[in-house]
Chains A and B, each alone.
Chain A
């Protein structure tokens, strides 16, 4: 979703929330505040997507007044229709693969490597706990802000649930590895 339709429609969606038009810089800031946890954008990327949206006739440029040279982006009727269609279309994201790197390590490690494998799992668990901690920071920050962050809250919920599942999986892997590889007394 990072470089696909998702990002194009995320930007189109944000433009649509500014009926009076929005500058590229303000647009990027808005995206970062609302979606920053999930998408990292650089200016080049933002402007490439904006060019694409203009070429497709989904947004248009306006100049706020004669003196200003800063372009404002505004959604077109066609853009609004396209956004509606996108919102109602089923998502195309494939499910995220489980921690592939850990899976590969597990595949090639023999019984003698149990302590190292458990250590890897601990390491991975700590990374996930940090993610949860940062998601919590993000959640509290959004709750305090004036932004309408409804969708972002939903994304944070989703991210928390998936990290929780990964952690449960790690516990399971650790337990099963131990049963399988620990020398029986």
Chain B
């Protein structure tokens, strides 16, 4: 569960102070798939940074499974990111001189997991993103969509409780972007990992069960979209 209690984040001070997040409160249950939508500069990415403990709130509390992220020691905060949170960014940040398999396994290797376990979990993560046939390729030989699949596998390999995705399809064409969203939707569905995703694109935002629209760092509108029609053949539009 992720909880924001009246969180404000101000960058800078005095006349140049910018309020990136302004008095934001919400409670996101475990296993949910939410998106944050809003124009650039609306504070969407800052929300993810606050959850990952990459930046402390100016006021208010950010709780991940009941623990105040700002109260963690640097080691605890790093452990949270390494073991419980998978981060997916617009830039894939894959290491070009490593194979797909090595890239995906990197978080486990850095965490000192033994090789047999790394191999097992990498195979599992590659299968989940349908990239097992590309395991020995280097990222530069893969398409943008495939590279993002690897980045998602790298996020999944730690078996995270939470995936934070910041414009994960921003560098992809529409068809590839949609496939990535289908994949994230599917992963949330199958593994129950909580997904918080940031996008400015309403079509992508609508993959989620709930959309939080931010304007100037404040929660402007919360939209619940998770009602499916009962009859699968029923028309859903007028």
Interface residues of B (CB under 8 A from A): 182, 185, 202-203, 205-207, 211, 213, 220-221, 223, 225-229, 232-238
Contacts and interface: CB of A to CB of B under 8 A. Distances in A.
A62 interface: no
* Of listed A33, A39, A136, residue having the most chain B CB within 10 A: A136
B205 A129 contact: yes
Interface string A117-148: 00000100110111111111110110100000
Nearest to B201: A164
A140 B232 contact: no
30 contacts: A36-B233, A36-B236, A37-B236, A37-B237, A38-B235, A40-B235, A40-B238, A122-B221, A126-B221, A126-B223, A128-B202, A129-B205, A129-B211, A129-B223, A129-B225, A131-B237, A132-B205, A132-B206, A133-B225, A134-B237, A136-B206, A136-B207, A137-B229, A137-B236, A140-B182, A140-B185, A160-B203, A163-B202, A163-B203, A164-B203
A138 B236 contact: yes
A interface, size bucket: 20 to 34
Contacts of B213: 125
Contacts of B206: 129, 132-133, 135-136
A29 B233 contact: yes
Q: Which of A39, A133, A159, A164 has the most CB of B within 10 A?
A: A133
User: Chain A interface mostly helix, strand, loop or mixed?
Assistant: helix
Nearest to B37: A129
A182 to B, nearest CB: 14
Nearest to A159: B237
A164 B174 CA distance: 14
Given A40-B235, A132-B203, 4 more contacts: A29-B233, A125-B221, A129-B205, A134-B236
What is the interface of chain B mostly: helix, strand, loop, or mixed?
A: loop
Contacts of A60: none
Interface in A2-47: 29, 32-33, 36-40
Contacts of B185: 140
Contacts, number: 67
Contact of B202 (A36, A39, A141, A167): A167
A29 B220 CA distance: 42
Interface of A: 29, 32-33, 36-40, 122, 125-126, 128-138, 140-141, 143, 159-160, 163-164, 167
Contacts of B227: 130
A36 B221 contact: no
B202 A32 contact: no
Contacts of B182: 140, 143
A79 B205 CA distance: 44
Contacts of A39: 235
Nearest to A145: B232
Given A126-B221, A129-B205, A136-B207, A32 B236 contact: no
Nearest to A32: B233
A38 B223 CA distance: 24
A15 B213 CA distance: 46
B235 A37 contact: yes
A38 B235 CA distance: 7
A131 B220 CA distance: 20
Nearest to B186: A140
A50 B202 CA distance: 40
Contacts of A159: 237
Nearest to B215: A174
Contacts of A40: 235, 238
A38 B233 contact: no
B235 A32 contact: yes
